[in-house]
Amino acid sequence: MLASLLLDTVHPILKSGADSVHMHMPWWLAGFLIDGVYLAVAWVIAVMLPPMAIFFPMFTLLEDFGYLPRVAFNLDSLFNKSGAHGKQALTMSMGFGCNAAGVVATRIIDSPRERLIAIITNNFSLCNGRWPTQILIATIFIGAVVPDSLSSFASLLAVIGVAVLGLAFMFGVSWALSKTVLKGEVSTFNLELPPYRPPRFWKTIYTSLIDRTVIVLWRAIVFAAPAGAVIWLISNVHMGDETIAAWLINGMDGFGFLLGLNGVILLAYIVAIPANEIVIPTILMLTVMVTGIGGGAGAGVMFELDSINATGDILRAGGWTLLTAINLMLFSLLHNPCSTTIYTIYKETNSVKWTVVASIMPVILGFVVTFLVAQIWRLFL
Amino acid sequence: MENYSPLLALSIFFIVVALLYVLFRPTKGWFWIIRKAFESSEKVIIEDVLKQLYHFETSNNRVDMKTLVQILDFKNTDIVEAVKKMTINDLIYSESDVLKLTEEGRDYALRIVRVHRLWERYLADKTGIHKKEWHDRAESMEHRLSHDEADELAEHLGHPKFDPHGDPIPTKTGKMASVHGVELPLLPVGSIGKITHIEDEPEVIYKQILAEHIYMGSLLKVIENNSTRIVFESEGEEFKLAPIVAANLTVALIEKEVVLEDNITRLSSLEENETAKIIGISKENRGDSRRRLLDLGFVKGSNVSIDLLNPLGNPNAYLIKGTSIALRKDQASKILIKKD
């Protein structure tokens, strides 16, 4: 509802307003501001706000109720085995909503070492911006390989599989970190279990909306706006006879092929560092632009189609196979955190070193995993 | 791209990974070995020789060139070279075969020992580095810290008298407190004592002691002592050690007629539906973690009972001063209680 309002109603109005006789806005300014900046911001709000407005208050209610510390209590011995803190179970679940919020939530961990582990591995929780990508790609490609009656079940299983894989990476990386680089940090553990009590409902809703939803959303908007501008610019500014986007895509195609992906996906992930939500619209826009097939709304204008089949057709025309889809799902799990999260990590750790580690390490993991999957796939299938 | 084949790509990948592994694997990687070779300068060899001589001297053993070369992990020619230089500089002299420290050499050795033990103290109190690693880290740090830095460190730590294993730390002027007590196997059955020192060399034996959860400062009572094993009781638990392992524990006999209170145990042994009073926190629990426990109310005289048992066995929640606090087993084992 929010999406259709912002993307399908307001956007055309703004566009036609800019074209109207009174405004005389040159095409490039209208494109830059409305197709670029506005659309990116609108997209982020449309994808992010509804789940966050539901997820965060629910989570805060559980917290207030006294339930969450008991989750940490029960799961601690699992986390202890990988050198982490039981409370990481909570920050990790928070990460399923938004990694930036998850990173902020690590403040509840009082031991410096375990807190750093929780911050660095938070990115392995699939966040709000990445769930739709997973679901969409799984529906189009994974669902297509099994009989129709099973297709929704298969794609559901694939998405859950990716999320569980994320958990496995979270435990594995926690373990590796605590055995190597974080060996010397002080580690303490104690956990207070507050008594169960009825939550203060309205106060909780209010604070969770203000503290979490609005702050996270605001940061996302601040970072999404320039991303929209960049996306519009690279697909409209020409260098020689090609757009910048086309140059970049051609340049990265070789590397993308090695990873079982392609240049379009890599470029989309670079320009979408500020917000995972705009990855799919950017991929669609770039694919249409590069392949020159019909559809879409013009260079630099991100779009998504109502029909899943039509989206699948565009992607297949862009050269996508089942391997591309699987690796995209893996890469969506294992890539750098969005810039909001990176900035939050910097604010929380106050250390450039750990921010760099937390940002680079998942991408390297992503490269290695997708690379291995691609080679083995091509060898045996 | 023309020559691409998945097999080729995979093999290049594995070659790169293998190369990185050979270069950077922990401690044995070439990168670390080369870096260590650069660090093991003459200074390091001289200081290690001095330290060995000092340790042999305090345990009334004699060293000749042969044993020295066997013990130290350097190239033989380097050691011979270093010993020659030290003799010229009046740090050591030799009586027939036996190498001995001069007054000056002993001072130098004491300074190295001081830095080593101070650094172990620092690692124990101010960092979260595991006990197993203290020795190795101090071993490399002792060559790097200058005299002034050592003094600064000592001040920062509050001029500690003992290192975390119970070895005395020499003062600036080379004075040392003495360790009270005798090796555990020498104690007769029935004697009561307090662990004052846990020797951290050789590593194999030290690791065994750590695995048994034997802590500094614990009171113990010898139950059985023969040539095959030594059994003692401490903090409500029974420990069995081989004599060679037990010899690494130094125990100070308690002369006064103190009766070892039978029902002092560790918090980790508290069962459901039992209540207890807290006697204190073991010395093993240091730094931030100790302070935090005290803040939470784990102080002498508080009543404690189990609030919640964990389905996975660890951690358990303890009810103390009306709040429920979850502690892991290894923390709870460092809190001493007396069951009601």
Q: Do A77 and B288 touch (CB under 8 A)?
A: no
More confident residue, B251 or B95: B251
The ipTM value here is 0.72
CA-to-CA separations, B140 to A168, A186, B218, in angstroms, rounded: 36, 21, 30
Helices (runs of H) and strands (runs of E) counted in chain A = 20, 3
Token digits of residue B265 = 């145990």
pLDDT at A363 over 90: yes
B223 strand-pairing partners = none
Residue whose pair of structure tokens reads 């806005």 in the numeric block = A25
Relative to beta strand A191-193, strand B230-234 is unpaired
pLDDT at A118 over 70: yes
B309 at A interface, C-beta within 8 A? no
Nearest residue to B55 via CA among B39, B42, B71, B43: B71
Average pLDDT taken over every residue of chain B: 84
More confident residue, A203 or B38: A203
pLDDT at B46 over 70: yes
Which residue type sits at A23? M
Residue whose pair of structure tokens reads 């102080």 in the numeric block = B299
Read off the pLDDT band of A356 (50, 70, 90): very high
Write the DSSP string, A275-286. Answer: -GGGHHHHHHHH
Average pLDDT taken over every residue of chain A: 85
A116, A349 Cβ separation under 8 angstroms: yes
pLDDT on residue B192: 84
A119-134: per-residue pLDDT in tens? 999 999 998 889 888 9
Which of A59-63, A368-372, B242-246, B319-323 is most confident? A368-372
Read off the pLDDT band of A138 (50, 70, 90): very high
**Separation CA A282–CA A264 (nearest Å):** 9
Nearest residue to A113 via CA among A187, A177, A173: A187
Question: What sign results for the dihedral spanned by CA atoms A169, A174, A180, A181?
Answer: positive
Relative to beta strand B219-225, strand B192-198 is antiparallel
For residues A167, A173, A175, A178, the Cα torsion angle rounded to the nearest 10 degrees is -140
Using CB atoms, which residue from A185, A190, A258 is nearest to B326?
A190
Name the closest residue on chain B to residue A372, using Cα atoms. B10
Contacts of B311 in chain A (CB under 8 A): 74
CA-to-CA separations, B156 to A146, A312, B117, B145, B160, in angstroms, rounded: 68, 66, 14, 14, 10
Read off the pLDDT band of B39 (50, 70, 90): low
Which of A15-19, B25-29, B54-58, B302-306 is most confident? B302-306
Buried b or exposed e, range A128-145, using 16+ CB within 10 angstroms: bbbbbbbebbbbbbbbbe
**Separation CA A214–CA A133 (nearest Å):** 23
Using CB atoms, which residue from A186, A190, A376 is nearest to B296?
A190
Nearest residue to B271 via CA among B316, B212, B302: B316
A345 at B interface, C-beta within 8 A? no
Work out the number of other CB atoms within 10 angstroms of the CB of residue B145. Answer: 20
pLDDT on residue A188: 73
pLDDT on residue A120: 94
Token digits of residue A85 = 């803190």
B290-299: per-residue pLDDT in tens? 888 888 889 9
Nearest residue to A187 via CA among B300, B330, B48, B250: B330
Read off the pLDDT band of A172 (50, 70, 90): very high
Mean pLDDT confidence for B58-85: 81
pLDDT on residue A38: 83
**Separation CA A78–CA A84 (nearest Å):** 9
Biggest distance spanned by C-alpha atoms of chain A: 68
Contacts of B267 in chain A (CB under 8 A): none
| Alpha-carbon distance B186 to nearest alpha carbon in chain A (angstroms) | 37
B216-253: per-residue pLDDT in tens? 888 888 888 888 888 988 887 888 888 888 888 888 88
Lowest mean pLDDT across A30-39, A122-131, B203-212, B331-340? A30-39
B264 strand-pairing partners = B338
**Separation CA B78–CA B94 (nearest Å):** 18
Backbone angles phi, psi at B317, to 5 degrees: -100, 130
Measure CA B229 to chain center. 23
Q: Do B315 and A191 touch (CB under 8 A)?
A: yes
Return the percentage of chain A with pLDDT > 90, whole number.
26
Which residue type sits at A316? R
State the alpha helices, DSSP H only, in chain B.
Answer: 6-24, 30-39, 42-58, 65-71, 76-88, 103-126, 131-141, 147-156, 203-211, 243-246, 287-296, 329-332
A240 at B interface, C-beta within 8 A? no
Using CB atoms, which residue from A77, A185, A254 is nearest to B310?
A77
pLDDT on residue A39: 82
What angle is formed at CA A331 by the lines to CA A325 and CA A336, rounded to 5 degrees?
155
Mean pLDDT confidence for A335-361: 92
A63, A194 Cβ separation under 8 angstroms: no
Task: Say which residues have a Cβ less than 8 Å from residue A376's Cβ, sequence separation at least 6.
Answer: B6, B10
pLDDT on residue B262: 64
Residue whose pair of structure tokens reads 């605590």 in the numeric block = A178
A106, A348 Cβ separation under 8 angstroms: yes
pLDDT at A21 over 60: no
What angle is formed at CA A370 by the lines to CA A349 and CA A82, rounded to 5 degrees?
45
Question: What sign results for the dihedral spanned by CA atoms B264, B270, B273, B275?
Answer: positive
Contacts of A379 in chain B (CB under 8 A): 6-7, 10
Read off the pLDDT band of A92 (50, 70, 90): very high
**Separation CA B314–CA A185 (nearest Å):** 22
pLDDT at A1 over 70: no
Mean pLDDT confidence for B162-183: 83
Return the percentage of chain B with pLDDT > 70, whole number.
96
pLDDT on residue A370: 94
A330, A141 Cβ separation under 8 angstroms: no
Lowest mean pLDDT across A137-141, B18-22, B243-247, B251-255? B251-255
pLDDT on residue A265: 92
Backbone angles phi, psi at B99, to 5 degrees: -90, 135
**Separation CA B122–CA A13 (nearest Å):** 68
Mean pLDDT confidence for B263-285: 85
B117-138: per-residue pLDDT in tens? 999 888 888 777 777 788 888 8
Read off the pLDDT band of A23 (50, 70, 90): low
pLDDT on residue A60: 82
pLDDT on residue B245: 87
A322 at B interface, C-beta within 8 A? no
A8 at B interface, C-beta within 8 A? no
Lowest mean pLDDT across A21-35, B174-188, B319-333? A21-35
Suggest the residue from B2, B5, B10, B141 to mutate for an interface test with chain A (most A CBs closer than 10 A): B10
Nearest residue to B247 via CA among B163, B187, B191, B165: B187
Contacts of B323 in chain A (CB under 8 A): 192
pLDDT on residue A186: 67
A348 at B interface, C-beta within 8 A? no
Read off the pLDDT band of A300 (50, 70, 90): low
